[in-house]
Amino acid sequence: MCTALTLRTIEGNHLFGRNMDLDYNFKQSVILVPRGFEYTHIATGEAVKSKYAILGMGTIMDKHPMFAEAFNEKGLACAGLNFEGYAAWEKDLAEDKINIAPSDFILWVVSNFESIEQLRPVLADVCIVEKSLNENIPIPTLHWMVTDKEGECLVIEKTEEGLRVFTNHVGVLTNSPTFDWHITNLSRYLGLSTHQPKEINWGDEQLKLLGVGAGAQGLPGDYLSTSRFVKAAFLRNNAALGNDEHSGIVEFFRILNNVSMVRGSVMTNHQNYDITQYTSCMCLEKGVYYYTTYNNLQINAIDMNKEDLDSTEIKVFPYRDALAIRYEN
């Protein structure tokens, strides 16, 4: 289970990131892939090179980077979220299509395109194929959220009905069911408001407010994907925009903290606790990847522009999961 989010600052910085909710650690690290890095398509075995430098959270297996979310030097970003019960992949390669494995989709997007304007027309030619890097790695069930520094945002889903591309006007994505269902479901919450309702009389009884926040009474608070979508959309679309990058980051993390999972609150069918392993935020204009972890609430940052983007090697940054405390005396 995960929640992805976009947010804009008054100055025009575009932020994108997610909560990674899992009952296990997948040995994740922040990874920098340089321009011109050669990798092999999982689906076809074809050797290709990345056009752009890429920064994001993921893991490297058999020298192959696999991202949970990432963005490139041009400001195009993509995140994959669990889509269990709905994701459906093609069994065979299609001769007249661009064949992509689910685990490669993010890498394909951010290594080849500068913007959604470039990406959107190509998606009609994509075939997502049921292929894995090796037999020990399960094929993920995902849908994807893509955004850029123009503020455009898409959701891409492959189901039994085919590949569908949605324009995402609310800037939020969670998990199953399909994105269009989530959007329709928002209509059930038209009565939610950030404003206080007026006090009224029922008969001769005057009903008085018991405190602030009554306008949002009925806002979901459980951890279901459907509930997290509503809550994140409400908070995101009512948030007071930060003036600049740093104030925007504060609001970004605050919103995602409101839909994060506390250890012990969600038990999976495997009898493990589902927790928010990490929360990420990418500033698409500045080229900086920020993240916190479940154990370390201090914000860690990696600036793409301070690295050699023409290097010949992938760079892996340590995953800072130990509690960090600033002592004042």
Q: Specify the amino acid at residue 294.
A: Y
Closest by alpha carbon to 96, among 129, 119, 128, 127?
127
Catalytic residues: 2
Q: Considering only CA atoms, give the Rg of the chain.
A: 21
The answer to whether residues 170 and 238 touch, using CB atoms and an 8 Å cutoff, is no
Nearest-angstrom CA–CA distance, 169 and 212: 29
**H/E segment holding residue 108:** helix 105-112
Residues 6+ apart with CB under 8 A from 47: 38, 39, 40, 41
Closest by alpha carbon to 128, among 89, 165, 91, 157?
89
Nearest-angstrom CA–CA distance, 299 and 22: 20
Nearest-angstrom CA–CA distance, 49 and 161: 32
**What tokens does 9 get?**
């600052």
* The three-state (H, E, C) secondary structure of 109-131, written as one string: HHHHCCCHHHHHHHHHHEEEECC
